[in-house]
Amino acid sequence: MMLMMKNVTFRATGAIILGWLAAADTLAQDQMPPANVRVAEAEVRAMAPVTLVPGTVASRNDARLAAEVDGRLQTVADVGTRVAKGDPVATIEDTQLKLRHEELVAEVARAQARVAFLEAEEKRFDRLAQSNLAAVTQLEQTRADRDVARGDLAVARSRLAQNEDQLNRTVIRAPYDGVVVERLMTPGERVTDGGNVVRLVDQGNLEVVARAPLEYFQYVSPGQRLELRTRDDSSQAEVRTVVAVGDLNTHQFELRLDLVGKQYPVGQTVRVAVPMANMAEVLSVPRDALVLRPGSITVYVVGDDNTAQPVTVTTGVGASDRIAIEGDVQAGDRVVIRGNERLQPGQAVMISEG
């Protein structure tokens, strides 16, 4: 009998203690200061599963500038020199061409004088022929000589123009804004027509060249924005063109993308997120909203009373900084994206705008 009374007493005491503990926990939670958090909305977005394929940042203007005349190089721009379109990047000795230019100028002047003389003679013989004082044959001969002289003048002018064109080509000019990234020849070397002198790269007009399996060709189209990822960050790129010809050996197609906002150095390796299926409307949240714990993934949803409650979710496809989720979360719900690691269920929050 005494043992039964003791058991009843212990049970009553335990219930009282548990009640005290629950009350203390509720009181502590009520007294816990609001946590500063940042929130974002759960949104329905069009997303698709993706595969990451390697890509390389390349310049759309990357050329080896060649000489167009023979001669000795006088100057060559240093590596790293930034030039604007039309600026000289190298010059070739032009002494022989200048001497030839003077010679051709004299030939043109001589031909002009010859034409002027014969034109005057033609007019004089024409007047004499009208007075029957000169033979018609002399007039015809003068006209023929005049026509030949005009032809010689045209030839001399053409040769002078060709020489001036060659003189202009002794200066190798940049066809676009860019940076000299390689010197293929140095001052003092003799260059021949067609010999490469410098490599010029346009760093402001970049694209990403990537290749993806042919099975995903139907899911990529011009104008579509795809995610680019590097080891440190991610950005967006717009598909400019899709080459509808697959490689027979690798069974891949090529796509080229224009960078949007973010700029990378030429030659940078990136990973391109290529869709593996058609887009579908899914509920998504920022990746930072996920709280990963062993065996579960939760997000904290902020209610109208500014308290945060954890909701268990499962994740789906991801795109950029957002990821699809399934769970008791609705579009428009506010989810915590900063400060969620230390939140307690039901804890009050103070939403920060920063």
Q: Do 257 and 300 share a domain, yes or no?
A: no
pTM comes to 0.67
- Residue 353: partners with Cβ closer than 8 Å, 6 or more residues away: 38
Last residue of a domain, one of 277, 307, 334: 277
The answer as to whether 124 is a domain residue is no
Which tens digit of pLDDT belongs to each residue from 83-127? 999 999 999 999 999 999 999 999 999 999 999 998 888 888 877
**Contacts within 8 Å (CB) and 24+ apart, 142-149:** 142/118, 145/118, 146/115, 146/118, 146/119, 146/121, 146/122, 149/111, 149/114, 149/115, 149/118
Residue 68 included in any domain = no
Q: pLDDT tens-digit profile of 309-342?
A: 999 999 988 877 889 999 999 999 999 999 888 8
Q: Is the C-alpha dihedral spanning 15, 21, 27, 29 positive or negative?
A: negative
- One domain for residues 54 and 43: no
pLDDT for residue 133: 63
- 326 in a domain, yes or no? yes
pLDDT of amino acid 232:
82
Rounded Cα–Cα distance for residues 74 and 94 (Å):
10
User: How many distinct structural domains can be found in the chain?
Assistant: 2
- 286 and 341 both lie in a single domain: yes
Residue 136 maps to a domain: no
- Residue 76 in contact with residue 172, Cβ under 8 Å? no
Q: Which pair of tokens denotes residue 77?
A: 């721009």
Residues 6 or more apart whose Cβ sits within 8 Å of residue 137? none
Give the pLDDT score at 241.
93
In a domain, 307, yes or no: yes
Looking at the structure, do residues 328 and 291 belong to the same domain, yes or no?
yes
Residue 297, pLDDT > 50, answer yes
213 is a domain residue: yes
Among residues 238, 254, 277, the one where a domain terminates is 277
Domain boundary among 223, 257, 277: 277
Nearest to 69 by CA among 52, 91, 41: 91
Domain containing residue 328: CATH number: 2.40.420.20
**For residue 21, pLDDT beyond 50:** no
Same-domain pairing of 299 and 259? no
101, two tokens: 């230019």
* Same domain assignment for residues 231 and 292: no
The CA-CA-CA angle for residues 73, 83, 95, to 5°, reads 25
Helix (H) or strand (E) holding 284: strand 280-286
Alpha carbon of residue 73 to chain centroid: 34
Residue range 202-219: average pLDDT? 92
Please report, for the domain that includes residue 232, its CATH number: 2.40.30.170
The parent domain of residue 241 ranges over 50-60+206-277
Residue 219 belongs to a domain: yes
Residue 130 lies in a domain: no
Q: Do residues 251 and 290 share a domain? A: no
pLDDT surpassing 50 at residue 273: yes
